[in-house]
């Protein structure tokens, strides 16, 4: 008996211990960080970027270089029988990791996840992690340049993964290691193919791979178990399953199945397990008829999306990623172009859940790189992109090479001939495309092209992908709205057999700027809205256009830009803080499910204007899904109007002070809006204050200081306004622009200084006797722009005028307050200057600010007058 017990105890020593389950642990917190060459260390957590602040300051450029992160990571885990990995969701743009002084790995590319195995490098107790991240320009790592900011840092989550020795692989391009595709789909059944990557470190005589398909309600559909004989190393197992009477994933009903994958030992005990979501659907692009989802035609309408937010750059918490997708869904959009790079996996997860189709692309933007490893790095990025997003039913297109023919003769930058650049670009595209098709033959590829039709045709680049994306800006960067429809027909004829998709369209609009006479490049919300009103009917009309995505769901960082809000691209349907503009409400009225109504200018809380008959009449648009809408002001109806194309316009007689607007749509929807209206009285004996922008038709709501700036008017007796001069215009390659576009230093209220009246003789206001403060706003808008110009003509291609010395004096009611004033000499070009003068008006003279030239033309950008007694 004792001998038998002894044998039993010995045998127990050789029974393999049950495999520990996989688990993950975040190591986002408590990192020390410093820039290379800077001894100052600070403590922070991921997500983090070191460019959150310097990309929006007045100093041209932002820091691109090496940053170091260090941390002691305690491991109190039992590491026996485990393999340990560290996973980075995203770090821009090249990362090296050292663990306990040993180099653990390197990754190139700033927008896809990657993983390193570190089990042989870690130990129980304290472990030293040291990370080097470099966002310097690198000709081998795209993007080379672009109209967005390349934030440096570890800006997504970092986790440790603890896995059993034998497990479902996590190292195949940092994916889940399970790839699900639906081969054949009918109403009766769907054939599901699963490719599973396994990592077997401890040899076994046999293992089992079990895969169970779960219906959207969680019930078991089918289970397939396969025996794996003498499994070892890295291996791939293919499984086929059948789903009877499949529930299709659709934009209206995004039904998602689940696949539970279990790796079992010889006795059926679970070693490792993983759950993956997938959807069953069919889709196709037709070059003549557009897009079809589950055999029905569907026009794809939506937006692009950049992953940043004011004040934090691209280091977004999870909730912000989810909110952007929900904003698109609430607008009624059914498509998201994830551009110009792969983004947090939560974005695609939410698209799956909400029923939003999507595409994603690698960040080859503007031009190809000239380093020998550029193409190989692009191919690797493409594989990471595909495998990491493979199972999303919302994902229907893989894209690459955005606008690589846009720059002015990019081949000259490295001494290539035009034909050499064409060949290199096509060879690179062909390599990327081939890698994508090998990884996933079920989805089409797309190249988003700029308007350089001749270059794409001559280079043969158009031949490579299945779909041609069109980034079109007729009526903004070039030509007029009327050119859009014929241009689309020309593209259709030029690229026979290719499906067409409008990947970008839009116009910049500062949510603080408004105009009732909008002009191209005035950066008002009204012109941006007009742009969308002109484009959308054409998009719907052309059956061969499979879809279109607005550029962009949100305003986003672009450090090199000037314009109304420097360092930002303002084409978003929402602001960078995600406050909707009128263009967003326009699409919501047309695409949303309703009932819906929204009074236009919802974020324009402080308005103003000149009284006429005791009121100031301004147009207000109401956006609604209904067929009719009534608008009331302060309880009094302004009438009921029919709705066309999602909106109706009303003339609203605003009075001084609070005005309450109420919209009542015929479908029952209601909206309210409170407006603080700053009315300039006809009878200036009642005058209190006025803020006037010179040389423009724009209104500017200064939210920071709680005031509104109104456009200039010519002086007439008994009122106020300018005398003499002309509206200054910026000359560009495409003609004159209504506003100058440089970044104005020493202010964040750039629109006040970006227009001016040149040659002004006086500004008069027939105000009553009393004490006043007069503020004069100046900026010399001639001279060279600070910083490096953007590499293509995206609206900031100003033609420098002759820089002449500008010297003038200013008198207020006959008293000289500025003598021989030389803005450029005293302050420099494109710099905000505010001069403040207390003035006492007596003897009924009113207020007269006179400008006396000495050299060149006097200028005035804005004026503010306040009565303080």
Q: How far apart are CA 49 and CA 37, in angstroms?
A: 17
Closest CA to 290 of 501, 486, 447, 464: 501
Q: Residue 856: which region, alpha, beta or left (left: phi > 0; alpha: psi -120 to 50)?
A: left
Residue 463 carries which DSSP code?
A: G
Q: What is the dihedral of CA 470, 592, 340, 350, to 10 degrees?
A: -140
Residue pLDDT, tens place only, 724-734: 999 999 887 66
pLDDT of residue 9: 33
Angle value at C-alpha 50, between 48 and 55, nearest 5 degrees:
120
Write out residues in the chain with pLDDT < 70, as ranges: 1-20, 412-414, 733-734, 786-803
Give Cβ neighbours of residue 10 (< 8 Å, ≥ 6 apart). Answer: none
Quote the CA–CA distance of 555 and 301 in Å, as a whole number. 19
For 590, the 3-state DSSP assignment is helix
CA distance 8 to 553: 68
pLDDT the model gives residue 3: 40
3 state SS for 380-402 = HHHHHHHHHHCCCCCEEEEECCE
């Amino acid at each position: 008996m004792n001998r038998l017990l002894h044998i039993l105890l010995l045998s127990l020593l050789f029974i393999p211990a049950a495999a520990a389950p996989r688990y993950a642990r975040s190591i986002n917190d408590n990192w020390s960080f410093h820039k290379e060459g800077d001894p100052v260390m600070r403590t922070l957590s991921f997500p983090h970027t070191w460019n959150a602040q310097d990309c929006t300051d007045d100093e041209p450029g932002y820091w691109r270089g090496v940053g170091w992160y260090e941390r002691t990571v305690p491991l109190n885990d039992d590491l026996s029988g485990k393999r340990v990995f560290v996973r980075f969701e995203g770090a821009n743009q090249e990362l090296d990791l050292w663990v306990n002084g040993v180099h653990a790995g390197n990754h190139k590319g700033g927008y896809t996840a990657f993983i390193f195995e570190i089990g042989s490098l870690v130990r129980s107790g304290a472990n030293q992690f040291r990370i080097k991240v470099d966002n310097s320009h690198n000709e081998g790592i795209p993007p080379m340049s672009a109209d967005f900011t390349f934030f440096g840092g570890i800006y997504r989550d970092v986790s440790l993964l603890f896995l059993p020795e034998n497990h479902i692989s996590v190292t195949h391009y940092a994916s889940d290691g399970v790839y699900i595709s639906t081969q054949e789909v009918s109403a009766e059944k769907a054939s599901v193919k699963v490719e599973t990557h396994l990592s077997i470190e401890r040899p076994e005589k046999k293992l089992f791979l079990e895969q169970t398909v779960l219906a959207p309600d969680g019930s078991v559909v089918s289970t397939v178990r396969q025996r794996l004989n003498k499994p070892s190393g890295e291996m791939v197992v293919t499984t086929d399953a059948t789903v009877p009477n499949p529930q299709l994933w659709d934009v209206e009903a995004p039904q998602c199945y689940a696949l539970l994958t279990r790796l079992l030992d010889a006795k059926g005990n679970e070693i490792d397990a993983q759950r993956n979501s997938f959807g069953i659907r069919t889709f196709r692009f037709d070059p003549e008829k557009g897009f079809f989802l589950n055999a029905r035609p569907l026009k794809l309408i939506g937006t692009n999306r950049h992953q940043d937010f004011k004040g934090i750059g691209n280091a977004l918490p999870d909730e912000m990623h989810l909110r952007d997708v929900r904003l698109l869904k609430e607008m009624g959009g059914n498509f998201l172009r994830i551009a110009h790079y792969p983004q947090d996996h939560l974005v695609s997860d939410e698209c799956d859940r909400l029923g939003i189709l999507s595409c994603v692309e690698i960040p080859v933007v503007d031009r190809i790189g000239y380093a020998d490893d550029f193409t190989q790095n692009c191919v690797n990025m493409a594989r990471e992109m595909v495998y990491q997003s493979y199972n999303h039913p919302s994902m229907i297109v893989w894209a690459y090479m955005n606008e690589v023919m846009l720059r002015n003769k990019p081949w000259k930058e490295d001494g290539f001939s035009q034909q050499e650049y064409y060949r290199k670009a096509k060879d690179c595209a062909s390599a990327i495309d081939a890698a994508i098709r090998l990884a996933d033959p079920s989805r089409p590829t797309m190249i988003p092209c700029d308007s350089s039709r001749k270059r794409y045709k001559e280079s043969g680049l158009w031949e490579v992908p299945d779909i041609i994306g069109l980034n079109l800006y007729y009526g903004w960067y070039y030509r007029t709205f009327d050119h859009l429809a014929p241009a689309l027909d020309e593209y259709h004829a030029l690229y026979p057999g290719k499906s067409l998709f409008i990947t970008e369209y839009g116009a910049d609009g500062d949510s603080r700027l408004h105009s009732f006479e909008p002009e191209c490049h005035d950066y008002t919300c009204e012109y941006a809205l007009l742009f969308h009103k002109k484009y959308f009917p054409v998009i719907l009309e052309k059956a061969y256009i499979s879809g279109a995505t607005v550029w962009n769901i949100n305003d986003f960082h672009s450090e090199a830009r000037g314009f109304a809000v420097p360092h930002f691209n303002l084409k978003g349907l929402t602001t960078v803080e995600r406050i909707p503009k009128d263009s967003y409400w326009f699409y919501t009225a047309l695409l949303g499910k309703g009932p819906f109504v929204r009074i236009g200018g919802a974020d324009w809380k402080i308005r103003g204007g000149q009284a006429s008959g005791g009121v100031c009449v301004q147009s207000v648009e109401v956006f609604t899904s209904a067929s009719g809408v009534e608008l009331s002001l302060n309880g009094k109806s302004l009438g009921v109007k029919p709705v066309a194309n999602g909106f109706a316009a009303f003339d609203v007689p605003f009075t001084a002070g609070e005005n309450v607007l109420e919209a009542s749509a015929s479908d029952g929807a209601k909206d309210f809006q409170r407006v603080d209206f700053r009315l300039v009285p006809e009878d200036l004996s009642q005058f209190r204050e006025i803020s006037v922008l010179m040389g423009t038709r724009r209104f500017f709501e200064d939210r920071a200081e709680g005031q509104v700036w109104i456009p200039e008017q010519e002086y007439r007796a008994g009122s106020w306004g300018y005398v003499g001069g002309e509206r200054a215009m910026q000359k560009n390659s495409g003609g004159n622009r209504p506003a100058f576009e440089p970044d104005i230093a020493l202010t964040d209220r750039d629109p006040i200084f970006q227009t001016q009246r040149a040659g002004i003789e006086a500004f008069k206001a027939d105000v009553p006797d009393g004490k006043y403060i007069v503020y004069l706003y100046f900026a010399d808008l001639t001279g060279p722009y600070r910083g490096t110009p953007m590499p293509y003509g995206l609206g900031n291609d100003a033609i420098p005028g002759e820089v002449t010395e500008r010297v003038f004096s200013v008198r207020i009611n006959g008293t000289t307050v500025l003598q021989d004033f030389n803005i450029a000499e005293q302050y420099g070009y494109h710099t905000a200057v505010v001069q403040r003068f207390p003035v006492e008006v007596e003897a009924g003279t009113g207020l007269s600010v006179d400008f006396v030239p000495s050299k060149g033309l006097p200028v005035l950008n804005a004026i503010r007058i306040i009565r303080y007694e």
